[in-house]
């Protein structure tokens, strides 16, 4: 087992988090729910939440920290998953609203075109013109069905 000589580098994934921890304890005398990503012995990483207070000597110097450490990896993963789910749901709502608006914007002029084609079909047309009107009406019906 390798000894722990530099906790900031060996334990903390972001070495600056140890400095942040120490600064918070120095400033406030304690920390609550201070989260950091740390390395495990097997090389994997986990997220921890630290609650700690400074133990000082008679000169007021910090000699050690006293507190608890809790693994919050699962809690963070669940929060991330929830956040991603909410983002996906918001994107789906936006897509649905867009499609509903576009559907309305397309249907309104299409109904006007279909009305004009119906009126055109009641006029005197040769066979070729009637076929064109029929094709345009079929195409309009197909578009309206979408």
pLDDT per position as a tens digit, 79-128: 999 999 999 999 999 999 998 888 888 888 888 899 999 999 899 999 99
Segment 122-145 shows an average pLDDT of 90
The dihedral formed by the CA atoms of 122, 123, 129 and 130, expressed in degrees to the nearest 10: 20
Q: What is the pTM of this model?
A: 0.58
Q: How far is CA 145 from the centre of its chain?
A: 35
pLDDT band at 2 (very low <50, low <70, confident <90, very high): low
Residues listed for the chain:
146
Residue 30 buriedness (CB in 10 A; 0-12 / 13-18 / 19+) = middle
Of the candidates 52, 48, 53, the one whose C-alpha atom is nearest the C-alpha of residue 70 is 48
Averaged pLDDT, 52-71 = 91
């Amino acid at each position: 087992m390798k000894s722990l000589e530099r906790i900031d580098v060996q334990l903390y994934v972001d070495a600056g988090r140890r400095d942040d921890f120490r600064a918070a304890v120095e400033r406030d005398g304690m920390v609550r729910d201070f989260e950091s990503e740390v390395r495990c012995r097997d090389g994997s990483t986990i997220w921890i939440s630290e609650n700690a207070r400074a133990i000082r000597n008679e000169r007021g110097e910090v000699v050690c920290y006293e507190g608890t450490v809790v693994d919050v990896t699962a809690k963070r993963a669940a929060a991330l998953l929830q956040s991603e789910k909410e983002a996906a749901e918001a994107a789906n709502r936006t897509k649905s609203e867009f499609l509903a608006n576009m559907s309305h914007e397309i249907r309104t002029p299409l109904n006007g075109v279909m009305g004009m084609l119906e009126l055109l079909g009641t006029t005197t047309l040769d066979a070729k013109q009637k076929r064109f009107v029929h094709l345009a009406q079929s195409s309009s019906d197909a578009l309206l069905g979408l």
